[in-house]
Chains A and B, each alone.
Chain A
Amino acid sequence: MKKLLLKTAIFCFAALLLFLLILSQADGHTDPFYIRFTSPKQTHLMIGTSRAAQGLQPSVFDSILNIKAYNYAFTVAHSPYGETYLNSIKQKLKETTSNGLFIVTVDPWSISSKLEKPNDAEQFRELDLCVGKTPFVNHKPNFIYLIRNLSGEYYKIFLQPKSATFLHDNGWLEVSVSMDSLKTMARTNAKVEDYRKNLLPYYKYSSLRFDYLQQTIEFLNQHGKVYLVRMPIHPDIMAIENELMADFTSKMEELAPMTEGYFDMTASNNQYQYVDGNHLFKDSGKIVSRKIAEWIKSIR
């Protein structure tokens, strides 16, 4: 009996050790979020949805503003403004930060809910996604994240086809897709159709999310300066957003006095390239990042 228990224990230990060893190899190719939960606590954060995740390149901010910026934006499903995202930001921010720089990106979707009752916080879908399911956001390797979010698909850590996305150590999600005009147009048309059919009819403004956006700004103000930014988007998506929330700009102007300023970049929507209408192509992202950094530099 003792022999069996000993051998079984050794076997289980060896299997678990190998398993954890494989898990610890997870990197920016594993999924579009993991790396953000593995870096240490940060001083300067960029927050928002996937537009910010793909569009804001921390290295550009580093060189212009001489800081070490970190992109802590996810997607409209994972990180709309709310208690879940605010708690995660609190975890990610170094408590002693007093002169941080925070770029808070906003769009109508990030203060809306895809719910019949848009303020029903118990039904917010981010609760069941990685931002809500990962209590520790600064561990490397982050086994809790991997076990809760990658279950059934751990093989992806070492067995992945060539992925179009790569999550950099500074949190920037690089997307490398063909920008051939026909393919880009097809992706944009599909995205516009998706937004019009599957999002616009179901999304509603959430005063609770707006309230959490305010709370997020208030919290970040305690640790440094907050800059409110609306990222550029394809004009067709812009038209849908105007239908969703015609008074979005006035809502943001209401918040602007709490921040260092509000930079609405949608006036220059036509100047940039988008991979799918919603997300900036990386070359355009670099330009947008530089413009935001220079704007910050000018008002700092």
Chain B
Amino acid sequence: MLFNSIDFALFLPIVFLLYWYVVNNSLKAQNLLIVAASYVFYGWWDWRFLGLILFSTLVDFSVGKKLKTEDKPGRRKALLYTSIFVNLGFLGFFKYYNFFLDNFVSAFSFFGAEIQVNSLNIILPVGISFYTFQTLSYTIDVYKKKLEATEDFIAFSAFVSFFPQLVAGPIERATQLLPQFYSKRSFNYTKAVDGLRQILWGLFKKIVIADNCAVFANDFFNNSADYSGSTLALGALFFTFQIYGDFSGYSDIAIGTSRLFGFNLMQNFNFPYFSRDMAEFWRRWHISLSTWFRDYLYIPLGGSRGGTWMRVRNTFAIFIVSGFWHGANWTFIVWGTLNAVYFLPLLLTKRNRNHLDVVAKGRLLPSIKELFSILLTFALSVFAWIFFRAENMAHAFDYIAEICSSSLLTTPDFPARWKALMTIALIGIFIMIEWLGREGQYAIEKIGLKWRAHYRWTFYLSLALLVLLFSGSKQEFIYFQF
């Protein structure tokens, strides 16, 4: 079920009313309703996926219970590996089987040995990378004794399948989300209004910004041979805003929806395109994944301890794995590596923690230096997104080669230029609102709170109207495929 669908527009109020009016007196019933609603939400795509999520839940719940009573290190490790093997096994099979097979065949062909293997027609279960990492965090934290294993199967099932963030995050840590299922939620008006406001902003990002940008980004990337360098450069810019609007929009809707049910999810995007260097960008982009890799990969590998070589190795490891997490394609690995290369000078000169605060805090405009840093960082990320979006490496190189040709200096020429201008104007408005709201958790968290009610309502109604006027193009969320 898509957040930007009529189905969800009906589903959400029904679950909300049942949650607060029918099962509000019982914690167990509240959790049970969340599990049922989550399974309906997930099964809406394909009911066969439910078996996977149920199996993953059963395995991790059982492993957690065993870990609670098991003291022998060897056995504890075996239990942990069981969970890792099952979860990553599913992920590996559904997401990476054909990739490894194809590369295996290519490698043999390179050495002159032709082998015949059949790739499988595997359907990738929606959001498998997200819930797999979320359940893994539970087992690892229980293994490390950071979290006590739960005895409550319903609460645990609700934690694994919690529908607002099930298919595209934020990837919650068990230590943060699971305890919220142990205590009964009570309705909080301010929190619910805040949730609705964040949902509205998420819908604006997705429907008004991302879906409009997608029209051009898809056309330019899919038919890149037909367009000039200047048009392709514009295409890369459109994709840059598409992916941000799409993914951060989803996160906003997820976080807002959770707040309606009394839950707090972590912030997943913190205005990344206003970053002053790539280190800051990665502290602000897909925060739940970056911190997951930091906690469960970077730190166990040694983190920042050890020598320079160790830090460089660990940094490259998390960026490359992060790239690979996004999909079974060399383009993602190169995208991850490229970001590691961007990060490297900052790491080596120990300037990777220079910008921990909000840019131009308390000021309306950034300084010239800040603006230059923001634009440079933005340009680097636009370049990296070309690899992320390209179909394969040859496509990425051809795309970049055309941008670097003399045709970059020509006027972009493509159909529907009028619509492109309108989209650019919308992006301009979007950037302005994001800039004004950059000190909040999301752009419109505080904007308008001190205005008179009718101005505030006019602002929100304008956003809602834009959402309605651009609705219906039915572009899927990009991150569902990851």
* Number of cross-chain contacts by CB at 8 Å: 50
Given contacts A4-B192, A8-B196, contact A151 B471 (CB under 8 A): yes
Beta-carbon contact of B189 and A3 below 8 Å: yes
| Contact of B365 with A by CB under 8 A | no
Beta-carbon contact of B460 and A11 below 8 Å: yes
Given contacts A1-B20, A4-B189, contact A14 B461 (CB under 8 A): yes
Query: How many A residues have CB within 8 A of the partner chain?
Result: 21
Beta-carbon contact of A152 and B465 below 8 Å: no
Beta-carbon contact of A147 and B192 below 8 Å: no
Beta-carbon contact of B471 and A1 below 8 Å: no
In the complex, which residues of chain B have a beta carbon less than 8 angstroms from the beta carbon of A257?
A: none
Beta-carbon contact of B464 and A11 below 8 Å: yes
In the complex, which residues of chain B have a beta carbon less than 8 angstroms from the beta carbon of A22?
A: 465, 469
Q: Which of A64-72, A154-162, A185-193 is found at the contact surface with chain B?
A: A154-162
In the complex, which residues of chain A have a beta carbon less than 8 angstroms from the beta carbon of B418?
A: 161
In the complex, which residues of chain A have a beta carbon less than 8 angstroms from the beta carbon of B461?
A: 11, 14-15, 18
| Contact of B473 with A by CB under 8 A | yes
Given contacts A1-B189, A19-B468, contact A155 B20 (CB under 8 A): no
A113 smallest CB distance to B (angstroms): 27
Compute how far the CA of A147 lies from the CA of B461 in the bound complex, rounded to whole angstroms. Answer: 20
Compute how far the CA of A69 lies from the CA of B187 in the bound complex, rounded to whole angstroms. Answer: 62
Beta-carbon contact of B187 and A1 below 8 Å: yes
Beta-carbon contact of A155 and B457 below 8 Å: no
Compute how far the CA of A16 lies from the CA of B465 in the bound complex, rounded to whole angstroms. Answer: 8
**Shortest Cβ distance from B416 into A: residue:** A161
Query: How many B residues have CB within 8 A of the partner chain?
Result: 21
Beta-carbon contact of A15 and B468 below 8 Å: yes
Most chain B beta carbons < 10 A, residue from A15, A18, A19: A15
| Contact of B52 with A by CB under 8 A | no
Compute how far the CA of A22 lies from the CA of B469 in the bound complex, rounded to whole angstroms. Answer: 9
Beta-carbon contact of B457 and A11 below 8 Å: yes
A18 smallest CB distance to B (angstroms): 5
Compute how far the CA of A153 lies from the CA of B212 in the bound complex, rounded to whole angstroms. Answer: 10
In the complex, which residues of chain B have a beta carbon less than 8 angstroms from the beta carbon of A7?
A: 193
Cβ 8 A contact of B472, one of A8, A15, A152: A152
Compute how far the CA of A150 lies from the CA of B473 in the bound complex, rounded to whole angstroms. Answer: 9
B175 smallest CB distance to A (angstroms): 30
Q: Give residues of chain B (433-482) contacting chain A, Cβ–Cβ below 8 Å.
A: 457, 460-461, 464-465, 468-474
Compute how far the CA of A22 lies from the CA of B192 in the bound complex, rounded to whole angstroms. Answer: 30
Compute how far the CA of A280 lies from the CA of B402 in the bound complex, rounded to whole angstroms. Answer: 41
Given contacts A1-B187, A1-B189, A152-B211, contact A19 B472 (CB under 8 A): no
In the complex, which residues of chain B have a beta carbon less than 8 angstroms from the beta carbon of A14?
A: 457, 461
Compute how far the CA of A15 lies from the CA of B20 in the bound complex, rounded to whole angstroms. Answer: 25
Binding site for B on A (CB under 8 A): 1, 3-4, 7-8, 11, 14-16, 18-19, 22, 147, 150-155, 159, 161
- For this complex, 13 residue pairs linking A to B, each with C-beta atoms less than 8 Å apart, are A1-B187, A15-B465, A18-B461, A150-B472, A151-B471, A151-B474, A152-B211, A152-B474, A154-B468, A154-B470, A154-B472, A155-B422, A161-B418
